[in-house]
Structure 1
Amino acid sequence: MHDLLDNGARIPAAEAAPLSHAPDEEVSHLSDTADAEGPVRRFIVNGRFLATEPVGVHRVATEMVRHAHRLIASDPALARRIALELWIPFDAQDRANALGVPYRVVGPLKGNAWEQLTLPLRAGRATVVSLCNVGPVLRRNAVTMLHDVQVLLSPESYSANFRRWYRLQQPMAGDRHRRILTVSEFSRDQIVEANVAPADKITVIHNGCDHVLSDSADDAVLKRLFLEQGGYTLALSSLQAHKNIVVLLRAFARPELKDRTLVLFGSASRDRFVAAGYHVPSNVRFAGRVSDGELRALYENAAMFAFPSTTEGFGLPPLEAMRLGTPAIVAPCGALPEACGDGALYVAHDDPSAWAKAIASVYQGPQHRSDLSARALNRAKRLTWDRAARNLINTLLSL
C-alpha cells in the first residue's frame, strides 16, 4: 500500500503541462519552456495533518499531495527536476496508508512538537511545504499555505488558545517563510491587510472540487434519515459563528418553508444547538458525521445546498454540491463570489426572509432549479485538483 522511505530516499516527481483556463481562474505560475536541466529540487511536505481529525483544510492538503504525486510519478522529465516527499509523525500512519502515496515516518515526537522541532531539524537543506495553515515557524526555508485569517475576521468562532497560537505563528510564517500560498484573491487581500505577509510574497492557488466524484454514493443514508430525492435542503452543521447556520434555522421556521426539510450534516447535534440558545424548528434533521459516500448521496439527492457563511477563505462545500449538479444558494461574502462565480444564487447573509423566499423558489420552479443546476455544474467543472497540483509544483519550481 505504501513505501516506507529511508533517510535521503527520493519520491519521483513531474513537469507541468500547458493548462487551458477560464478568464477568471489563475494561470500556471511557470512557463512550459522553463529550463528542465539542473539538480533535483527536494521539497518535504509536512504530513502532520494526517495525524489529526480531518477538517476542510486537510481535504485540500490531501488532494494537493495526491495529485501532485501522480503528476510527478507519471512524468520522468518532471521527476528529474523535483522530488516531493511526504514526511509524517508516527501516529499518522493509518491515514497516510489511505492516502496511497509513498511516505516517510520521521521521529521523534508528535503533534505540535513534531511540526515545530522534529520536522525542521531533520529536513536538512530541503524546503518544507506545509498546506494546513501552520508550518515550522523558526525555519526560513519553508513554504506555507495560509487558507485565511478567519481568526482575525471571526475570532468568536475559535477558542482563546487557538486565537493566541494563530496570531503568533501566522505573522512569523509570513515574515520568515520563502513563500506564502493561499486559496483565493480574497484571502490574499485579507492576509495583506492583516500585515501577515506582503502581496508580492503570496501565490493564489484555487482549490479543486472534483474529489467529490471519487466515492460512490451511499444511498443508505437517505433511508436512515427518511429522505426523498429532491425533498430537502442540505447544509453544514456548525456552531462556528461565521458559518451563520442561525439564518437557516430562522428561514425554516417561516411559513414559506414550514413543510420543507432542512438536513444538517456535521458534528454539531441538535442538543448542542439548543444548549447554545438556538431555536431548532421541528423540520430540521441532523445527519451527524457522514462518510464521503453518504455525503455524495446527500448532495446528489438534495433539492439544493445552502451556505450562508459570513466569511470564507474559499468555500468548498457549495462547490462540492455544484460539481454534482446540485444548485447552491450562498451568501455574497468572503471568497464565495470568487469561488462560486455565476454558478450560485446569492442571498444576503443576514436576511432569513430572503433565504426562505429563495429556497421556496427553487422548490416551486422546476425550470428555475434546472437552470441553476446547469450553471452550478458548468462553474464547478473548471476547478480541478489536477490544476491546483500543477500550480503548486510550478510555484515550488519557480522559487
Structure 2
Amino acid sequence: MGMDDALLRRLTVPTATDHVLLDVDAVRQPLTGIGRYALMLARGLSAELDAEALQLLRGGHPVSLGQMERGLASGSAGRVARIAARLPFRPILRRAYLQWVGMQSRTLLARRAEQGYLLHTPNYLGLDYPGRTLITLHDLSYCHYPECHPPERVRWMNECLPSRIEQAVGLITDAESVRQEVIATYGVAPDKVTAIPLGVEPEFHPREAADLDPVLARYRLASGGYLLSVATLEPRKNLERLLDAHERLPVSLQSAWPLVLAGGRGWSNARLLERLQAAEASGRVRRLGYVAEDDLPALYAGARAFALPSLYEGFGLPLLEAMASGIPALASDRGSLPEVAGDGALLVDALDVTAMSVALERLLTDAPLRARLVAAARARAATYTWARCVSETRNAYRRCPW
C-alpha cells in the first residue's frame, strides 16, 4: 500500500519546525521601517538558530548575517538588490524582477521546499516559492487609502496579493487592528493571522543635552528647541495638516519650536513640497531629509515634542521610538496608533486641524501634561522589545501547518 506524496514528504523532511528561509531584500539603504523589521528579525533569529535552521536570502541567494550587515553599512546590498532599488515601481518591471530572481535561485528554492523550509517574506510580496510561505502584512493602506499611493503600486498589490494570501500557510501583522482588517478584507480564518508587535532598540532613550550636542550641531538644532516629525513625505503621513496646525500656533511658539521634518522624499507630494519651501523661508519649518540611523536617537531625544498625525499606520514605529526617547508625543486616533500609544501619547482627530493645533500647544507648553505623557510613554515603550518580536515570530513559525 503506497503513501500519497504529502504523507511521504512529511515523513522525510526535517522534524524541527524552525527551518526557515528569511527574505532580507528590504535590508538596504535607505533603511525603511520594513527594512528595520527584517534586519532585527535576521539578527534575533541568527542568535537563536544555527546556519542550517535559518538561511537568509537576498536576491534569492543565501547571504550570511555578516555579509548583510556589511552591505548595509557600506550602502552596497549586492548586485541584484542594487538593480531592484533602481527600478521605478511598475508592475511589469516588478514582476520581471521577481521572475528573474526566481529563475536564478530555482534549484535552491526547490531543494529547500523539499526539505520542508518555511519561507518568511517580511515585505508583502516576494519570491515565488514552491514550499510553505508565511507573509508579514504591515498594513492595508493600499486598500483603505489608495489615493495616498502611486496607482501602479495599488494595482500591483490588488493583482498579486490576494492569491499570495490564499496560498500562504500563515500571516503576521504588526498590530491587532491590522489583523482584524486582514480577516475582514480577505476572508482569512482568524487562526491563520497572528499579530506580533514590533520592538524599539535600547539606543532610543532619554539623554542629557550635553550628550546630544555633537549630533544636533550637524543639523543646526538645539536640544529642546524643535517639534519633530519623522515620516516619509507622502500623503498618508498627513503632513500638510500638521503644517497647518503648526502655522496656527502663536508666532512666539512657532519661533521657539520650529517644525522639523525628518524623512525621505516620498511620492505624490508636489503641493506639500511647494508649501514646505515657502515655510522654510520663514525659519519656522526645517526639512532634514533622510536622517542616518545613528543620528536618529539623538534627534528624538533632543526634541521638545513629537508629532505623527498619520491618516493610517500599520504600527507607527517612529511613535514608539519617540515614546522610548522620553519626549511627549502626539498621534492621530486612527489605524494602529492608539493601540501602540495606549495612554502614552496625546491622540487627536487626523482631519481636525484646529484640534491638532490646540493639542500641539498643550504638548509644547503644559508641563504637567508633558510629565504625565513622558512617564506613561516610557513605561509602555519598555514592553515593546525586539526580543519579544523574535520570540513570537518563532512561535508563529511553529504554528504553521505542514
Fold shared per TM-score above 0.5? yes
Instruction: Determine whether 1:83 maps to 2:53.
Output: yes
1:43 Cα deviation after fit: 1.2
How has the CA–CA distance of structure 1 residues 284 and 275 changed in structure 2, closer, same or farther, with 3 Å as cutoff? closer
Structure-1 residue corresponding to 2:98: 112
CA distance in 1, matches of 2:79, 2:132: 19
Task: Give ranges in structure 2 of 5+ residues lacking alignment.
Answer: 1-13, 85-96
For 1:145 and 1:295, the matched residues in 2 are separated by 25
Give 1:96-175 correspondences, 5 Å limit.
96-97=69-70, 111-113=97-99, 116-119=102-105, 121-123=107-109, 124=111, 125=113, 126-137=117-128, 139-175=130-166
Q: Which amino acid aligns with 2:217?
A: K
In the TM superposition, residue 69 of structure 1 has moved relative to its aligned partner by 1.7
Unaligned runs of 5+ residues in structure 1 are 1-36, 74-78
In structure 2, the CA distance between the partners of 1:235 and 1:106, relative to structure 1 (3 Å rule), is: closer
The 5 Å alignment of 1:326-341 reads 326-341=327-342
Confirm or deny that 1:67 pairs with 2:61: no
Q: Which amino acid aligns with 1:267?
A: G
Q: Secondary structure at the residue paired with 1:85?
A: strand
Partner in structure 1 of residue 218 of structure 2: 224
AA aligned to 1:58 is G
Q: Is the 8 A contact 1:265 1:290 kept in 2?
A: yes
Q: Which has the higher helix share?
A: 2
Aligned to 1:55: 32
Report the AA paired with residue 222 of structure 1: L
Deviations 1:8-51 (A, max 9, x none): xxxxxxxxxxxxxxxxxxxxxxxxxxxxx955742111122235
Please give the alpha-carbon distance, in whole angstroms, between the structure 2 residues aligned to 1:171 and 1:63.
27
Q: Which of residues 238, 257, 261 in structure 1 aligns to 2:258?
A: 261
Cα distance change on mapping 1:331 and 1:352 into 2, 3 Å: same
Written as runs of structure 1 = structure 2, the 5 A alignment for 1:1-399 is 38-39=15-16, 41-50=18-27, 53-72=30-49, 83-89=53-59, 95-97=68-70, 111-113=97-99, 116-119=102-105, 121-123=107-109, 124=111, 125=113, 126-137=117-128, 139-195=130-186, 197-210=188-201, 212-213=203-204, 219-256=213-250, 257-259=253-255, 260-268=257-265, 277-278=274-275, 280-281=278-279, 282=282, 283-399=284-400
Instruction: Give the whole-Å Cα distance in 2 for the aligned partners of 1:114 and 1:232.
Output: 47
Structure 1 pair 314–55 and aligned structure 2 pair: CA distance change class (3 A) = same
Distance 1:130 1:119 in 2: 16
Query: Share of identical aligned residues, percent?
Result: 28
C-alpha distance in structure 2 between counterparts of 1:184 and 1:394, whole Å = 16
> Quick one: distance in 1 between partners of 2:25 and 2:103?
12
Q: 1:120 and 1:197 mapped to 2: Cα distance?
A: 29
Q: 1:352 to 1:243 in 2, by over 3 A?
A: same
Letter in 2 for 1:231: G
Do the aligned partners of 1:229 and 1:302 also contact (CA within 8 Å) in 2?
yes
1:343 aligned counterpart, secondary structure: coil
Distance 2:377 2:41 in 1: 23
Amino acid across the alignment from 2:21: I
Number of residue pairs the alignment of both structures matches = 349
1:288: Cα distance to partner? Answer: 1.5
TM-score by length of 2: 0.78
Distance 2:79 2:353 in 1: 51
Query: TM-score, normalized by length of structure 1?
Result: 0.78
**Partner SS, residue 49 of structure 2:** helix
- 1:9 matched residue in structure 2: none
Q: Secondary structure at the match of 1:346?
A: strand
Q: In structure 2, do the counterparts of structure 1 residues 284 and 196 end up closer, same or farther at CA, with 3 Å as the change threshold?
A: farther
Contact residue 124 and residue 137 of structure 2 kept, 8 A: yes
8 Å CA contact 2:227, 2:258 repeated in 1: yes
Aligned residue for 2:362, secondary structure, equals: helix
1:239 deviation in Å?
3.1
Once residues 156 and 118 of structure 1 are traced to their aligned partners in structure 2, the CA distance between those partners, rounded to angstroms, is 36
Once residues 294 and 107 of structure 1 are traced to their aligned partners in structure 2, the CA distance between those partners, rounded to angstroms, is: 28
Is 1:184–1:313's contact at 8 Å kept on the other side of the alignment? yes
Bigger Cα displacement from structure 2, 281-290 vs 362-371: 362-371
Alpha-carbon offset, residue 226 of structure 1:
2.9
Compute the displacement of 1:212 (Å): 4.1
Across the aligned residues of Structure 1 and Structure 2, the Cα RMSD in angstroms comes to 3.1
**Equivalent in the alignment of 1:14:** none
Separation (CA, whole Å) in 2 of partners of 1:50 and 1:238: 17
CA distance in 2, matches of 1:128, 1:59: 18
